[in-house]
Amino acid sequence: MDVENHSYQVIGHGICHLAIIPMRAKPTSKSEQVSQLIFGETFQVLEESQDQKFVFILADFDQYQGWIEKSRWWKATRVCYNQAKASQEYMVAEDFSSLKGTYQQIILLGSTLPLYNQGILTWDQQTMKFHNSVYHVKKMLGQKFILGISFRFLGTPYLWGGKTITGIDCSGLTQQIFKLANYQLPRDAYQQAEVGINVSTIESTISGDLAFFAREERIIHVGIIVQFEDIKGLDEGLANLLQVKLENVKTTNTETKPNTDEAYTWIIHAYDCVRIDVLDNVGIYNLDERQYTHFNHSFKRVIAKNKLDLIK
């Protein structure tokens, strides 16, 4: 996602106080959404637009830059900002949760709760009440947790620049799932491809590995590999449905079929929505469209196979 490169001095600090704040490529509401801030994320303000309606920010979590509407900038004191930035270990555990501040509002799975203490958030002079479930993540969590969270995003509609369960893009999906497990992935797919260790073949991959896909050698897509036995362990009904779909493709007169003579596994990724498709030595085979939609570039392991040597 392209956004103008800025390198200015910090002129202010903020905390995202809404469920979602769009980050845009240019200082206009008509510009494309390149990413989002979600509740609890801290950011630095670098510049104000000429019409004073937008500010250019740097998100602390992934160093992503973009324009947000100035009216959505909750100005934090330097002390509160520093404390909030250092206090990101509590995260919202439910898909939709209620927060009571000045207004009652909904916040979403994976939002952070900076300066949280026994159901209360205190930012400068503002107090908010939160009594839903939280994750208190002190260490990196493993493969089973990551797969369980991945399944909760299934069916989420695709949204360019999205990072939440209400709408998400491919790299937003992988970033947020790993964030909930206490891993910090960059924002875009090509950046995520630089993280972890290489896995040379699809036969060597395990559930939780990342698969990257390219067009003309440029990485454009990412997803999370999942083996069939793990799908079955998490949702046997879904596993059976996928198996039936695959058998139908194999046995009907379809122009393009997956390489059934070669090893294939499955992948969770954001396409029309967050979905599970076949992954083989060619790429992603969409069982509904009955064609390849993405072609393999590389595989990466962020969680080590023995779950002891975790790679950040």
Return the DSSP state at 76: P
- Burial group, residue 165, by CB count within 10 angstroms (0-12, 13-18, 19+): buried
- For the CA atoms of 86, 92, 93, 95, the dihedral, rounded to the nearest 10 degrees, stands at -150
Q: CATH no. for residue 185?
A: 3.90.1720.10
Does residue 294 sit in the same domain as residue 156?
yes
Q: Could you tell me if 111 and 88 are in contact, meaning their C-beta atoms sit under 8 angstroms apart?
A: no
Residues 171 and 268 both lie in one domain: yes
pLDDT in tens, 226-247: 999 999 999 999 999 998 888 8
CA distance 248 to 222: 26
Residue 65 lies in a domain: yes
Residues 242, 269: one domain? Answer: yes
Q: Average pLDDT of 249-269?
A: 77
Residue pLDDT, tens place only, 41-61? 999 999 999 999 999 999 999
The reply to whether 186 falls in a domain is yes
Selected residue with higher pLDDT from 309 and 232: 232
Instruction: Specify if 4 maps to a domain.
Output: no
pLDDT at 109 exceeding the cut of 80? yes
Report the number of distinct structural domains present in the chain.
3
> What is the radius of gyration, based on Cα positions, of the chain?
20
| 186/59 same-domain check | no
From 79, 100, 115, the end of a domain falls on 79
CA pair distance 12, 188, nearest whole angstrom: 26
Average pLDDT in the chain:
92
Tokens, residue 191: 């950046």
CATH code of residue 54? 2.30.30.40
- Are 93 and 133 in contact by the 8 Å Cβ rule? The answer is yes
106 with 204, same domain: the answer is: no
Structural domain includes residue 306: no
Is residue 145 within 8 A of residue 1, CB to CB? The reply is no
Residues 169 and 199 in one domain: yes
216 belongs to a structural domain: yes
DSSP designation for 186: -
Q: Does any domain span residue 199?
A: yes
For the chain, what's the residue count? 312
310 falls in which pLDDT band (50, 70, 90)?
Answer: very low
Q: Residue 253 — pLDDT band, cuts 50, 70, 90?
A: confident
pTM: predicted TM-score of the whole model, two decimal places? 0.92
Q: Is 290 found in the same domain as 204?
A: yes
The two structure tokens encoding residue 175: 């970033």
State the sign of the Cα–Cα–Cα–Cα dihedral 239, 240, 244, 245: negative
pLDDT at 312: 38
- Whole-number percent of the chain with pLDDT over 90: 83
Q: Which of 226, 192, 227, 220 is nearest to 300 (CA)?
A: 192
In a domain, 106, yes or no: yes
| Within a domain: 176 | yes
- Are residues 292 and 234 both part of a single domain? yes
What is the C-alpha separation between 208 and 140, in angstroms, rounded?
13
Task: Write the pLDDT tens digit of every residue in 199-236.
Answer: 999 999 999 999 999 999 899 999 999 999 999 999 99
Looking at residue 137, the DSSP 8-state letter turns out to be -
Residue 254 has pLDDT above 90, yes or no: no
Among residues 136, 168, 201, the one where a domain terminates is 136
Task: Fill in the DSSP letter of residue 30.
Answer: T
- Structural domain span for residue 101: 87-136
Q: Are residues 49 and 108 in the same domain?
A: no
**In a shared domain, residues 57 and 175:** no
**Which two three-digit tokens encode residue 87?**
């206090």
Would the CA dihedral through 176, 69, 33, 66 be positive or negative? Answer: negative
Task: Say whether both 66 and 161 belong to one domain.
Answer: no
The 10 Å Cβ neighbour count of residue 121 is 23
Q: Is the pLDDT score of 295 beyond 70?
A: yes
Read off φ and ψ for residue 36, nearest 5 degrees.
Answer: -140, 150
Rounded CA-CA distance 12/56 in Å is 10
* 112 shares its domain with 258: no
